[in-house]
Structure 1
Amino acid sequence: MNTTELRKQLVAQLKGGQAFVPLREVLKNVPFDRVNQRPDGMPHSLWDLLEHLRITQHDILDFSTNPNYKTIPWPEAYWPKQACPDEATWQRTKEQLFADLDAMIKLVEDPESDLFTPFAHGDGQNLLREALLVGEHNAYHTGQFVLVRRALGLWKND
């Protein structure tokens, strides 16, 4: 198997933009005064989704790199308990999300990173599975971001 090509395809999935709008694009130009608003009939605000993505992606990265990884409680630890307090927190959370995404991309790109051997601290998971999980999870919630933005009148209708 050509792992160089596999790594390239994994990175493309993590970055997005092949079958869906990249997450970086979806999170551009969001007015802060709307991030805590939940549209009628929708369970999440833009803040809920952003913080959930940050927490989840960080947890997956930690699991993928930390042999002393400790599980966090599902679902309560994966969703924010309060509204985003200020614009600095919104910006910092986006920066943390993308820093962790970049770290996962670097891990996948590193030819020294074994994609296939299960982690000793897991129950069969390996780096390939975790990279696919990040890509799938981010794609799912990227779609939700677009729907919430549309419902708030903050997204082009195409």
Structure 2
Amino acid sequence: MNLLQASLGGSAAFREPDYILENLTFEVAAKRVPGLPYTIADVLHHLSATMRASLDLASGRAAAWPEGLEVWPSTPPTAGQLAHLRLEVALALAEAVMLAEDPSERARDMLTDLAVHNAYHWGQVALMRRLHGDWSGEDPEIGGGIGG
């Protein structure tokens, strides 16, 4: 695994997305943190939308960012929609890691931007879970917090 792959899938500088989302319930994902304009579910919607558009560009399936793409949800997701978002995010991450194995220059640039963008939002998800009292972020095997 190269550094770009690790940066996309976690384990380079931050926890793996699966670890961050482990045991996340709909109730916590849909709960607002006072003062924040979004929920964990909203961030997952954002990650799903931006990853799909970025991967389409990186893979050559698209030549430009989609016009009018809704990168933030207009209404809160249902439990079923959240489950679908989690699946979409997992599939997009798997595709990103695969594309990062031997990327073209265009793909490398897009995937590097995506890795930085995603890391920012995974940090938000981890922080919101902590603020909800839902997650410590600690791994008993390594004894560390979010960053290890």
Normalised by the length of structure 1, the TM-score is 0.78
- Partner residue of 2:51 out of 57, 70, 73: 57
Question: 1-side partners of 2:18 and 2:61: how far apart?
Answer: 30
Say if 2:35 is the partner of 1:41. Answer: yes
Contact 2:30 2:41 in 1 (8 A): yes
What is residue 3 of structure 1 aligned with on the other side? none
Q: Closer, same or farther in 2 for the Cα pair 1:99/1:67, shift >3 Å?
A: closer
What is residue 105 of structure 1 aligned with on the other side? 97
Root mean square deviation, CA, Å: 2.0
Q: Residue 145 of structure 1 aligns to which amino acid in structure 2?
A: V
Which sections of structure 1, spanning at least 5 residues, go unmatched?
1-6, 117-125
Q: Closer, same or farther in 2 for the Cα pair 1:103/1:62, shift >3 Å?
A: same
Count of paired positions? 138
Q: What are the residue-to-residue correspondences of 1:7-156 with 2, within 5 Å?
A: 8-73=2-67, 77-86=70-79, 88-109=80-101, 111=102, 113-114=103-104, 116=105, 126-156=106-136
Cα deviation per residue 1:74-129 (whole Å; 9 max; x = unaligned)?
7x71101111112x2212211111111111211221x4x42x2xxxxxxxxx1111
Normalised by the length of structure 2, the TM-score is 0.83
What is residue 141 of structure 2 aligned with on the other side? none
Question: 2-side partners of 1:150 and 1:78: how far apart?
Answer: 24
Secondary structure at 2:5 match in 1:
helix
Q: Residue 12 of structure 1 aligns to which amino acid in structure 2?
A: A
Q: Closer, same or farther in 2 for the Cα pair 1:68/1:129, shift >3 Å?
A: closer
Q: Closer, same or farther in 2 for the Cα pair 1:90/1:68, shift >3 Å?
A: closer
Q: Residue 96 of structure 2 aligns to which amino acid in structure 1?
A: M
Which sections of structure 2, spanning at least 5 residues, go unmatched?
138-144
Contact 1:35 1:84 in 2 (8 A): no
Residue identity (%):
26
